Amino acid sequence: MINNLGARKLSRTGSHRRAMFSNMATSLLLHEKVETTLPKAKELRRVVERVIADAKNNRRVEVRRVIRDKVVYHKVFDVLAPRYKERDGGFTRILQLGARRGDAAEAALVKLV
């Protein structure tokens, strides 16, 4: 039996996870940085890398499935895709910030390179 294929569940249903990462990806692409917990940051990286790669290859429908905000959608194609045209991957960087004060969760900053 093959274990550990796929993504982290993060104690959420599939629809909740999709909505959460869609919202987080939209915020990251709009503000170009977002602060969250480390496990969410590692999963968010997978989502955003795919969105930018799809935008570079002009796959508008695939980008629209994740990014539903029109302003961010146009920013991805007009600003970000040309910026990363020569880059093959690694569009995001995760910086660990240490334990969060309220619940001691491992915090991280996700930003575009």
Question: Does the residue 52 lie in any domain?
Answer: yes
> For position 102, which CATH number holds?
3.90.1030.10
Among residues 2, 50, 3, 1, which one has the least CA distance to residue 22?
50
Contact between residue 84 and residue 91 where contact means Cβ atoms under 8 Å apart: yes
Is 64 within the bounds of a domain?
Answer: yes
Token pair of 65 as six digits: 């499935």
pTM of this structure: 0.93
Sequence letter at residue 112: L
The model's pLDDT over 4-42, given as tens digits with 9 standing for 90+, comes to 888 899 999 999 999 999 999 999 999 999 999 999 999
Domain contains 104: yes
pLDDT tens-digit readout, 75-104? 999 999 999 999 999 999 999 999 999 999
pLDDT at 41: 98
Q: Which domain holds residue 67?
A: 14-112
